[in-house]
Chains A and B, each alone.
Chain A
Amino acid sequence: MTVFHSPRRPATVADPPAETDDALLDRFQRAAFCYFLEQGNPENGLVADTSRPGSPASIAVVGFALSCYPVGVERGWMTRADAACRTLLTLRFFQGSVQSDAPGVTGYKGFYYHFLDMKTGLRVWQSELSLIDSTLLLAGMLTASVYFDADSPIEREIRSCAEALYRRIDWPWSRGEGITVRQGWKPGSGFLHYGWEGYSEATLLYVLGLASPTHPLPCESFETWTATYQWENIYDIEFLYAGPLFIHQYSQAWIDFAGIRDGFMRGKVSDYFENSRRATLVQREYARRNPYGYPGYGKNSWGFTACDGPGFETKVIDGRTRRFFGYAARGVPYGPDDGTINPCAALASLPFVPELALSALRHFCRHYPEMIQDSRLPSGFNPTVPGAGAAGWVCEGYFGLDQGLLVLMIENYRSGLIWRLMRRCPPIAQGLRRAGFTGGWLS
């Protein structure tokens, strides 16, 4: 395995057990990977959104699962044959699923509903036909189609299935009457009415949409979207602003943005890799300043992103009125901030700020051992809310998105596997070029 971007350093703490950084990461990466083995349905390949009983499948989590299987094979945690079987099972499910504008099916126009029944694969929770979650699913399919390159019947079918599923997506439809894509669609009421402006995790969506061999998005859709960006100097750090950390991590989990620049980043003499690094530094700086005085924040304790929280209620704690939220996209510096930290988000910053992410992981291990079960990080903890230990409230169960992001980001740091695979994925390079990216590995 080769080290990517930054040399690994020796363990930053000497206290026992003197575990090396690599061993530590291996332990947490494997624990995260096992989520997908535990929570997958062997009948159809769907994977549960969370480990909570009765959780439906999330198509985004399935996308992460498909991307994690190659990591599992390379790390020796599963056989290639098993990974190929699971992958094909998943792809066959989606290929055979019903696509129509009826309310209770699996998808429409090549996109899929956000949440599906684990057994039947049909839409649940009246969820929306989700553009971004379909994109993450597609990213997983394309990862598989590059990784499984053998000339065997199973791997050939994986490639042809993934291509067929990509080709049938009607990207221009997803714009509705507008220039940029909409966030989602519901049968009956049509496109969601939510504003989706400003920098977000949608870069990957535009890249894959622009590269579609059958129904591509027009190039101006990406340019129009980037015109809503906001370049800010916050805490003396200049970056393309977005509050929650996941926005700086999702597209970056698949695409190596180091050294490649679109028109916006050329104008700012930066790139989206460097931008994620700076966004992470802003998060850490916010935690150090800790403007609202939440317990537990500090230089090694940060990670503000979309995650579960203690629940929507207001409490007076230590004489201060505190408002808490349930699942919400927490962000800095404008909030919302209710004292909840997602340790997964901090560790997923590994490729951008390796030393800081490792320090954060060791800090979590040392100070909040009770929240870490079997080397698996929870999706949130809040030391302000009294709980069983110093971590205070700890998120119940695990979220597939967090575990999947951890597997990919740790792997990108350790070997660059996902980035290397996706560089070889023709739609990625083509979509990036159509979006105006040049330089670096695209040259």
Chain B
Amino acid sequence: MIAADEHTDEVRPDERFPRTLRANLHPPAWRNPEPAGRYALVIIGAGPGGLTAAREAAALGAKVALIERDLIGGDRLNVGCVPSKAIIRTARLYAEMRDAENFGGQVPGEIRIGFATVMERMRRIQARISRGSSARRLAEAGIDVYFGEARFSGPDTVTVAGQSLRFRKALIATGARPLTPPIPGLAEAGYLTNENVFNLTARPRRLLVIGGGPLGCEGAQAFARFGSHVIIAQNDPTFLAREERDAAQIISDALARDGVEIHLNTAVVAVRLEGADKIVDLVCDGDKSSVAVDEILAGIGRAPNVESLDLEAAGIRYDTNTGVKVDDFLRTSNRRVYAAGDVCLEHKFTHTAEASARIALRNALFLGRRRFSKLTIPWCTYTDPEIAHVGLYVREAWDQNIPVRTFTILMHDVDRAVTDGEAEGFVKIHVRQGTDRILGATVVACHAGEMINGLSLAISTGIGLRALARVIHTYPTQAEAIKMAAEAYERTRLTPFLRALSKRWLAW
């Protein structure tokens, strides 16, 4: 029995960790440096992409400026991956305590959830990770760190905090922000996004999540595990619409098991306040209903941060929906200016931002011709189990007229998954029919995000299933599923003719 700690839910104002975080990521007494001459590279935005480019450029000996209007680290550290993963870890712990008997364990007495301690741990971890990205460390690495709003004031100048920075090359890495869903009454009633959900001081007793995308699913499951009554309303037929059907189905079942109420094909049409309750009107197949909740988490869509940059002044083309226009070399319509990460890419992930920043940097400073489209980019949704993908989906292969064979290993056949009580999910590896060339893969498993890396390595280096079958994997590990899939491929090569030959040889 898990009971929420209702009376001590309020987060005690322990300001230690937020203070540390700010001291590292936007020191109150920071004084911007005096620009001395032209910069080889000016980077706007100190999120994952901007930081990666700044560090690499400085290491290569470039004179580099990094401009941040708020906190260094961007979404990843402050409102994205780091805080959410910290919370998800605690949520998984509670789920394991709940299921202790299935693991042969016993939890003495009643399990109480203290939301305050969950959030405090999250802030401690943020502060811990922020050390590596502190303004001081960046300055020590030879990077000129500026705080303030950046604006282009010409094709080769940026203005920040009253100072004009001339550049040979610039990189826009300003990221994206949550979209406001156009639902009547939502803004007035108030709602949460990934930007402010981590500021919650009390656990909402009833939570409505709009949209069943990755962020929505992760948040819904975590809060359900903390004892919130969570409803997901999604105006699409399946969760995680871009993922494979079976993968999405497993996640949907997992959420339902945690008590998340899932309403597919359901549109949120209006929100209104009635006392402390937020009343949400839903429509499903023409049928109307209403639910009362304490908080609403909107997990749909992100808008690129392009508006306040005066991009026109530098002749940079952009769109408020899709962001800065770039070519495959990540160059904008201004030959001196490049862009990377969420501000210009469809795939809005931290690792994509970093990888694209590396490409943009090489292309900008070293006349590089690296193409973004050549990258192999995996991604993962951190529900429990996780769902990770890399490369082509079957549908995409079909669209390119590539015939596909899929080798599937169920996690329930992987010894370590069984011993760990994590037997849900699968590894699917798609190969081009008639070859062992890996086109793509989907992993649904408790540690899918870790497992997908081996497959990304195989795809990006051209390692096929035959070679993978010969790679010795440690036993027992869950990643062994990848080798098992490769072995399944090898077994299909044993045709009846080869078997007959082998039999004759052995009988001789």
Measured CB to CB, the residues of A under 8 A from B are 186, 188-189, 192-195, 197-198, 227-228, 230-234, 236, 238, 241, 243, 267, 289, 291-292, 314, 316, 319-321, 323, 333-336
Contacts and interface: CB of A to CB of B under 8 A. Distances in A.
A236 B236 CA distance: 34
A319 B423 CA distance: 18
Interface of B: 99, 101-102, 235-238, 241, 244-246, 249-250, 253, 257, 265, 285-286, 394-395, 398-399, 403-408, 410, 412-413, 423, 426, 428, 433, 488-489, 491-492
Contacts of A241: 406
Contacts, number: 81
Nearest to B393: A230
A333 B406 CA distance: 14
A228 B394 CA distance: 8
Contacts of B399: 227
B495 to A, nearest CB: 12
Contacts of B237: 193-195
Contacts of B265: 192-194
B403 A267 contact: yes
Contacts of B404: 231
Given A233-B406, A233-B488, A188 B286 contact: yes
B426 A334 contact: yes
B102 A186 contact: no
A292 B418 CA distance: 10
Closest 10 CB pairs of A and B: A189-B286, A291-B412, A195-B237, A193-B265, A334-B246, A232-B406, A227-B398, A188-B286, A194-B237, A233-B407
A316 B404 CA distance: 42
Nearest to B104: A319
Contacts of B395: 227-228
A274 to B, nearest CB: 16
Contact of A234 (B245, B253, B398, B408): B408
Given A192-B265, A335-B249, 20 more contacts: A193-B235, A195-B237, A197-B245, A227-B398, A227-B399, A230-B394, A231-B404, A232-B408, A233-B405, A233-B406, A233-B407, A234-B410, A236-B491, A238-B405, A243-B246, A267-B433, A289-B412, A292-B412, A334-B246, A336-B253
A189 B433 contact: no
Nearest to A226: B398
Nearest to A190: B286
Contacts of A236: 488, 491
A338 to B, nearest CB: 11
Contacts of A232: 405-408, 428
A228 B488 CA distance: 23
Given A197-B245, A231-B406, A334-B246, A323 B412 contact: no
B285 A333 contact: no
A428 B406 CA distance: 31
Contacts of B403: 267
B412 A192 contact: no
B408 A233 contact: yes
A313 to B, nearest CB: 12
Nearest to A192: B285
A195 B398 contact: no
Contacts of A292: 412
Given A228-B395, A233-B488, A333-B410, A319 B257 contact: no
Contacts of B250: 334-335
Contacts of B101: 316, 319, 321
Contacts of A192: 265, 285
A188 to B, nearest CB: 5
Contacts of A228: 395, 398
A234 B398 CA distance: 20
7 contacts: A194-B237, A230-B394, A232-B406, A232-B428, A233-B406, A289-B412, A334-B249
